[in-house]
Structures are given as structure tokens and as C-alpha cells.
Amino acid sequence: MLEHLKSMYKLVPKSSSVQELSGFLVEANENDGYVYVTANNLEAAVQRKFKADIETGGGFIIEAKMLINMLALLSGGDVSICETKKGIAEIVSGDQRSSRCQRGDGVDRDTKENRI
């Protein structure tokens, strides 16, 4: 997964005030059992899909570089990604856990937890 995301990152603008352009759209579809990751720069888009055990479907945007850096620090194997609250991403692999705040409007909103 990490290598696929690194190749997709080439499409992401290096600086953008629009969060949607500087991040990956991560969507989990419990009906087909796939996680879809999309990168877009308004001129082109690329989407990869990964087979996954999905507890709850949903989607969120996560800053692309942050996701790649977080995954690179983990030991590999199975990965769980969830947005626990608006702007808080949690990634778990084995006994390693990483949580990061993303850019946002600073307003804390309760959201459904999306587990992939």
C-alpha cells in the first residue's frame, strides 16, 4: 500500500490552501469490501483500490504526505486507518499506533468512526 501511495503522491500539489487537493480521499465501501484512495490535482486524478476487512464504511480526507510518513514508520502488515473525530486520523499496525491532527477549521465535531 505504501508504495502505491508514494506513486500517487506525485500527482498531489506540493502546496495548496485547498485541503482536498493536498490530501488523499479515503473511502471504505463495506458493500464491495474495498478501500478506495483517490488523489486529484484538478487536471488529473488517480484512484487505487485495496481489498480490506471493513467494519464501517465511510470516507475522509487525510493529508497525503502525513499519511505516507505515518505508514512508513509502522512495522508493516495489516493496517487500520480511522478518523476518530473530525481532523484526527489514527493509524494502527500491529502494536504500533499513531494519531495526528490534520489542518482544519479548529471546530471539534463528533463524527462516525470509519475503520478500514
Which superfamily, per CATH, for 2-101? DNA Polymerase III, subunit A, domain 2 (3.10.150.10)
- What rounded mean pLDDT belongs to the chain? 78
Closest CA to 46 of 78, 24, 69: 24
pLDDT digits 0-9 by tens, 25-54: 999 999 999 999 999 988 889 999 999 988
73 pLDDT above the threshold of 70? yes
pLDDT the model gives residue 32: 95
pLDDT the model gives residue 11: 87
Q: What is the dihedral of CA 102, 105, 108, 114, to 10 degrees?
A: -50
pLDDT the model gives residue 86: 73
pLDDT the model gives residue 100: 63
Query: CB atoms < 10 A from the CB of 20, how many?
Result: 12
**Domain ranges in the chain?**
2-101
6 pLDDT above the threshold of 70? yes
Residue 79 sits at φ, ψ, to 5 deg, of -125, 135
Report how far Cα 98 is from the mean position of its chain's Cα atoms. Answer: 13
pLDDT bin (cut points 50, 70, 90) of residue 24 is very high
